[in-house]
Structure 1
Amino acid sequence: MRDHEPAPAQQASRRLSTKETAELLGVKPETVYAYVSRGQLTSRRGQGRRGSTFDATEVEALAHRNRRESAPSSGPDELSVRTRITLIDGDRYFFRGVDAAQLAARHSYEEVAEWLWTGTLRPGARFTAPQESLSAARRAIGALPEHSSPVDRLRVAAVAAATVDPLRYDLSEESVLGAARSLIPTLAAALPLQRTTYMDGQPIAQRLWGRLSYKEPDEASLRVLDMALALLADHDLAASTLAVRVAASARAHAYAAVSAGLGVLEGPLHGAASGLAHRMLLDVLDRGSAGPVVADELRAGRRVPGLGHRLYKAEDPRAQALFTALEELPAARGALAAARDVVATTARHTDLHANVDLALAVFTTSHGMAAEAGETIFAVARTTGWIAHALEEYGERPLRMRPTGHYVGVRPPQPLPSSPHQE
């Protein structure tokens, strides 16, 4: 609050500079002119001063409106965030208004990433990892213990890549997108090799394959991996994406925002869920039937992995798209049959459908990949969505992701605690 608030008559005629307007609205200066182009603000050339000026009353009204629209609207215990990136409606999901499953079926992961970031399709888009970024990431990952998880390695790679980017604190769209186009291939290419297939300029799916499987990839399998990356690129405000937006709200740079997402992703209820489904499918294939495997899961008090999704009543559309693509792969027939056996077995008593974790597990088990491979695919894929949400959040009022705590502890004043050794 300012020490000297102008009187209403004075404030009505007061003009603000572009910088003052941006600070009051909590946005970048270029966003101020976006408000002008949309008719939400009126600018005027200042007399005796460079640049445009803006009416203080009009700016205050817009700031108040933005705060009101950004406030939670789903009840006191839910956070609502306006976004133009992903819509989940019924049993379908859309990237900037376009059916995401259809987009992933027709376009590469890189093209889908560009669509999510800019709303423009760039046919044949390719991402390049600068040698300096790759070298830093590989050195840092090489210092980790051998048993480190894939997400551990990806987090370290993201931090290492940030240290060699002097422009990381530039939060302009151009700079953030430049960082994203180098970070994603760095993440894909910095992981330890299973087989030597990597060459700079290759699609992300091809670079990633050599980190996931020792088997020679065929064109159809690479296309399924590319499709999986595109399908998983974003999914509204999942837990990891919310963490990214909180970091971006505090104006953390893109690498730090992605690191926040990777930290949340490692939980068993998020990115690691496909690993549980992978192990279950291997067990079904080994025992020849889903019945005893499902029984063991339920007896242990666990949910059957790969089934159900809180946002979809029917089958997860990402699973539908992947299952359709996997049917074209001869190597996937056994794992597909095992997955269908799991779904059919549980359908006797519950109305749960397959989710994307089960479909991803079919792919990873079919190609001799480790159980953690699905988590790696998920993390690299979702980096695209995290960057899209970070960019969107950079255009909002800073630190708006600041809920108020509801204190339920003992009421003050309380006496100072005493040491247990005092008499």
Structure 2
Amino acid sequence: MRDQAPDPVRPQRRLSTKEAAELLGVKPETVYAYVSRGQLSSRRAPGARGSTFDAAEVEALARRNRRETGGTPSSGGDLAVRTRITLIDRDRYYFRGVDATELAARHSYEEIAEWLWTGHLRPGVTFDAPEAAVSVARRAVDALPDHAGPADRLRVAVIAAATADPLRFDLSEEAVLGTARALIPTMVAALPPVRRARRGEGSLARSLWARLSGRDPDEASLRALDTALGLLVDHDLAASTLAVRVAASAHAHAYAAVSAGLGVIEGPLHGAAGGLAHRMLLDVLDQGDAAPVVAEELRAGRRIPGLGHPLYTAEDPRAVALFRLLKDIPHAAPALAAARDVEATAARHTPLHANVDLALAVLTASCAMPATAGETIFAVARTAGWIAHALEEYRERPLRMRPSGRYVGPEPPQPLP
């Protein structure tokens, strides 16, 4: 924003940097960040030190910040986060306004990632992992004990890849996009292969398959895996995504932001939910009936894995899209029948619909993948969404994701212990 010419009739009131910062509830350096982003104009008075700011313009920005955060600028109350990435509405969800299930049905995971990041589709795009980053990440992952889980391996891979990138602190959009296009295939390449992976296998889904299943992939199964990646790429402000945005708000680099997300997904209510559904399906297949398995879950006071979602009243649209493809996968019929048996049995107790975790469990159980495969698929897929949210957050006011605590401890002053 260019400097405004002073009104010759009524002089404008000018504020110092300190006064502007106090009115906005930010640090003085943040005021200059507003200037660099074109949100404020500044003028240096002849013979004076420092810049001055139009009081009316500063007050207008302060009002705008209060509307956006739902509180005073200094409260850090940005609980409703503005985003152009994902909308969940009426049992559907959309990526940049486009139906996400239709995108996943027609485009590869890499193409959907590019759409999230840039708003442009790049037909046929593939991601390549730099040899140096892969080498460092593999050595770090191989050093982990055998019982390390997928989130452990992926976190270590991301941290190792970061050490191989001296330019990781560049938060410009182009630099972060370059990081994203290299980091995701590096994460996959760092995982121990189950079957021999050929160099230049093409799609990320094919490369990931080699880390999850010892079977040779058929086209229907590969398509289902690629679609699952595309369906899971983002889901608004899930717990892990919020963690990523908090890290990005502090201007942590992209690797650190992704690490924050990976630290959250291990919870059984988030990324690990697919593994619980996988094990439940295997129990149903072993017993030949969902009733005793569902009864045991209810008797133990646990929620039934793979059923229900707080954001959808009907069936999870991601599950609907994935179940449609699973019918074409060889050997999937028993797991599909087990999933429908679980849903029908649970409906006698409470009307819950299948969610994407149950559909993902059918995919992993049908394709000779371990129970942890769902968590791996989820983490790899969601990394693209995390990068999209980090890019958005880098453009926002720094450190805005800073809520104030409501102290409920002993009234001070208390005596020294």
Does the alignment reach a TM-score above 0.5?
A: yes
Structure 1 residue 97: Cα displacement: 0.2
How many residues are matched?
392
Report deviation, 1:415.
Answer: 1.2
Q: 2:147 and 2:364 mapped to 1: Cα distance?
A: 20
**d(CA) in 2 for partners of 1:27, 1:125:** 36
Which amino acid counterpart does residue 140 of structure 1 have in structure 2?
A
Q: TM-score, normalised by structure 2?
A: 0.88
User: Hey, what does 2:259 align to over in structure 1?
Assistant: 259
Q: Does 1:24 pair with 2:22? A: no
1:234-245 alignment runs, 5 A limit: 234-245=234-245
Aligned to 1:212: 212
Q: Which SS does the other structure have where 1:264 is aligned? A: coil
What are the superposed Cα offsets for residues 281-333 of structure 1, whole Å, 9 maximum, x if unpaired? 00000100101110111111111100000000000000000000111113211
Distance 1:99 1:288 in 2: 37
Using the alignment, how far apart are the partners of 1:376 and 1:349 within structure 2? 31
Matches within 5 A, 1:56-67: 56-57=54-55, 59-61=57-59, 63-67=61-65
Query: 1:72, CA displacement in angstroms?
Result: 3.8
Given residue 124 of structure 1, which amino acid in structure 2 is its aligned partner? Answer: G
Cα 1:316/1:27, change in 2 over 3 Å: farther
Is the 2:307–2:352 Cα contact (8 Å) retained in structure 1? yes
For the residues of structure 2 that align with 1:22 and 1:266, how far apart are their CA atoms? 37
What's the offset of the Cα at 1:61? 4.0
Aligned to 2:101: 101
Whole-angstrom distance in 2 between the partners of 1:78 and 1:346: 38
- Residue 70 (1) aligns with residue 68 (2): yes
For the Cα contact (< 8 Å) 1:91–1:317, is it kept in 2?
yes
Q: Matched residues in 2 for 1:220 and 1:278: separation?
A: 20
1:300 lines up with 2:314 in the alignment: no
Structure 1 pair 383–403 and aligned structure 2 pair: CA distance change class (3 A): same
How has the CA–CA distance of structure 1 residues 324 and 25 changed in structure 2, closer, same or farther, with 3 Å as cutoff?
A: farther
Equivalent residue runs for 1:102-251 within 5 Å: 102-200=102-200, 202-251=202-251
What are structure 1's unaligned runs of at least 5 residues? 1-7, 36-40, 418-423
For residues 408 and 13 of structure 1, do their structure 2 counterparts lie closer, same or farther at Cα, with a shift above 3 Å needed?
A: closer
What's 1:331 paired with? Answer: 331
Shift of 1:21: 10
Letter in 2 for 1:106: R
User: What's the TM-score, normalizing by structure 1?
Assistant: 0.87
The letter for the 1-side match of 2:31 is: L
Q: Distance in 2 between matches of 1:409 and 1:221?
A: 55
8 Å contact 1:27–1:396 — kept in the other structure?
no
Question: How many angstroms does 1:110 deviate by?
Answer: 0.3
User: Structure 1 residue 56: deviation in Å?
Assistant: 3.5
2:357 paired residue number: 357
Indicate the RMSD between aligned Cα atoms, in angstroms: 2.6
Q: Deviations over 1:44-81 (max 9, x none)?
A: 9x999xxxx996346524531442233148xx999211
CA displacement at 1:345 relative to structure 2: 0.5
State the secondary structure of the residue aligned to 1:338: helix
Shift of 1:95: 0.2
Counterpart contact for 1:105–1:227, Cα < 8 Å: yes
Indicate the residue corresponding to 1:273 in structure 2: 273
Q: Whole-Å Cα distance in 2 between the matches of residues 259 and 235 of structure 1?
A: 18
Check the 8 A contact 1:72/1:81 in 2, yes or no.
no
Q: Do the aligned residues in 1 keep the contact of 2:171 with 2:394 (CA within 8 Å)? A: yes
| CA distance in 1: counterparts of 2:188 and 2:269, whole angstroms | 23
Measured in 1, the distance between the counterparts of 2:339 and 2:34 equals 48
Flag the 1:411–1:167 CA change in 2: closer, same or farther, 3 A: same
Partner Cα separation in structure 2 for residue 236 and residue 340 of structure 1 = 28
> Structure 1 residue runs of 4+, over 3 Å off?
8-16, 20-23, 25-29, 41-44, 53-59
The aligned counterpart of 2:316 is 316
CA contact (8 A) 1:126 1:201 kept: no
SS in 1 for 2:197: coil
Query: 1:38 maps to what in 2?
Result: none
User: Unpaired runs of 5+ in structure 2?
Assistant: 1-9, 21-26
Work out the CA distance in 2 between the residues paired with 1:55 and 1:93.
43
* Residue identity opposite 1:220 in structure 2: A
| CA distance in 2: counterparts of 1:68 and 1:367, whole angstroms | 51
Q: Could you tell which deviates more after superposition, 280-289 or 327-336?
A: 327-336
Which amino acid counterpart does residue 398 of structure 1 have in structure 2?
P
Distance 1:268 1:78, change over 3 A: farther
Tell me the distance in 2 between the aligned counterparts of 1:225 and 1:288.
26
